[in-house]
Chains A and B, each alone.
Chain A
Amino acid sequence: MRYLRLLAIQVRASLLLGMQYRMDFLLDGLVEAFWMVTALVPLLVVFRMRNTIAGWSFGEALLVMGWFTFLEGVLEGAINPSLVTVVDHIRKGTLDFVLLKPADAQFLVSTARFQPWRGINVITAALIFAWGFHRIGRWPTLGAVGLAAAMTTAAISVLYSLWILTVSGAFYVVRVDNLTHLFSAIFDAGRWPISVFRGVARIIFTFVIPLALMTTYPAQALLGTLPLATRVATFAGAIVLFGAARAVWTASIARYTSAGG
């Protein structure tokens, strides 16, 4: 309960900060909408030539794209800004002030900063979903939507855990803001169904950096074609990873010696 109230305060602070620069707010939204074009154009060109690619029709591929857009919004809007702030704190030694506060440090740093205009991704994603289902010609069942929502929770949790692991790295190697950039670049691969990839790439995107879990599986859940074993494995994996991330974070923070002098 106390943490919920804290969360509300942190979100409000970010919102106010974001609204302060209204012009930027609008421009960012606009640029963001434009970036979607870069994702959609290849899709349109590809499906002008083929009806299905790697077993996915146009409508189905749109669903994957929808999840990608949504998660990108979550990543860039809620996860990324906070964690960039932590890296800064660690480098400058100002993390001390966060650690001194009477609340869990991981919670505080994870909710430090939000970028509210990324909310536009949610709207774009909704539009893409609507378009996708329109192309498929049928709407998902209520159960499928519920499963997809659960899968998304797992996906966000995995995304968050991977980020906590990256940031924990900042205690050891200082320059991880580059790594965050690298991660965003790799994340781009999530806009296509996993079956597009073969060999090593597929194994990496399924198990090491589980992009499949983030975009392809929720889309399959919506379509009602996700195997039971995959569901179970996804949730188990998400929980284990979350636990591991927490453990690594705790171990790393114990090593933190501040940068002051």
Chain B
Amino acid sequence: MSVRTTLRASPTLLRVGFAGALAYRAEMIVWVLATTMPLVMLALWTAVANGGPVGRYGRPQFIAYFLATFVVRQLTGCWVFWEMTFEVRNGTLAMRLLRPIHPLWAYAFESVAVTPMRLVVCIPAALATLLIVGRTGVTHEPLLWFAWLVSIAGAWVLTLLVNFIVGSASFFVESSLKLMDLWLVFYFVLSGYLVPVDLFPASVRHVIDWLPFRFQIGLPVEIMTGAHGGRECLVLLARQWSWVLAALLATAATWRLGLKRFAAYGG
């Protein structure tokens, strides 16, 4: 399971993952369409903004914010925990363990491979943002766009690791899927997915600053819509990647401990 074998296997794994995404494209489109929440929230918030701007948000800013949310959600969405839990339960994980590549890497490649398909959906949404709100809705700073890429990568890795932790939790508890449900509740409420983080009262915002949820979705959206200057960006990115590191350690621990408990039933 050396780094070299993993790297050598990566193009093939990516191709397989992409072929899988292509084969189930109808399903994929349904999943994309099911991401209606940002659009529903968009309707609500623009109705609010009709009575005058809220904080730094007027109608165009809300449109930019929630379309950006849609794009970021599409790019960082990951449901690997589902597959992991399923494979742990019915023992098919044993097949993956036999392969000369770490199962977590395999899962990671499978979920990256979906990205091109998702881009197909994201690009129209991004273009729509530009068309509707013009260039004022998104940041102009090239450096900030670079920061955006870093933040998207961070958000994606963080989400993937959370998936891994919940998936590994299925080694220990039967109801790990409910664990994800609980996480998702916090994620929806505190990440900026439903309500832009800076519209929360200051006291709540201080709490959000120290929690991981905002870094899964809110941060890339904020950078994209130009909410932060350069220095602020760096601070927030540093926090995001600290969470990534913490999640990485937690993943390694739960996976190792969990795997010892794994028992597959032979056929």
A residues adjacent to B (C-beta < 8 A): 23-24, 27-28, 31, 34-35, 37-38, 41-42, 45-46, 48-50, 53-54, 175, 178-179, 181-182, 184-186, 188-189, 192, 195-198, 201
Contacts and interface: CB of A to CB of B under 8 A. Distances in A.
B33 A48 contact: no
B195 interface: yes
A42 B44 contact: yes
B30 A189 contact: no
B253 interface: no
Given A188-B37, A189-B40, A181 B30 contact: yes
B175 A188 contact: no
Nearest to B30: A178
Given A185-B35, A189-B40, A192-B40, A53 B48 contact: yes
Interface residues of B, number: 31
Given A23-B175, A31-B178, A178-B27, A42 B41 contact: yes
A42 B30 contact: no
B47 A31 contact: no
Contacts of A41: 189, 194-195
A186 B43 contact: no
A22 to B, nearest CB: 12
B142 interface: no
Given A42-B41, A185-B36, 14 more contacts: A24-B175, A34-B181, A35-B181, A37-B189, A38-B188, A41-B189, A46-B45, A46-B48, A54-B50, A178-B26, A178-B31, A179-B30, A185-B34, A196-B47
B185 A49 contact: no
B117 interface: no
Contact of A182 (B30, B37, B188): B30
Contacts of A189: 36, 40, 43
Contact of B34 (A38, A53, A175, A181): A181
A179 B34 CA distance: 9
Contact of A42 (B51, B181, B194, B201): B194
16 contacts: A24-B175, A31-B182, A35-B181, A35-B185, A38-B189, A42-B195, A50-B48, A175-B26, A175-B27, A178-B27, A178-B30, A182-B30, A185-B34, A186-B36, A189-B36, A198-B43
A28 B178 contact: yes
Per DSSP, chain B at the interface is: helix
Contacts of A48: 201
Interface of B: 26-27, 30-31, 33-37, 40-41, 43-45, 47-48, 50-51, 54, 175, 178, 181-182, 185, 188-189, 194-195, 199-201
Contact of A192 (B31, B35, B44): B44
A206 B12 CA distance: 48
A197 B34 CA distance: 18
A24 to B, nearest CB: 6
A249 B156 CA distance: 43
Nearest to A24: B175
Contacts of A178: 26-27, 30-31
Nearest to A55: B47
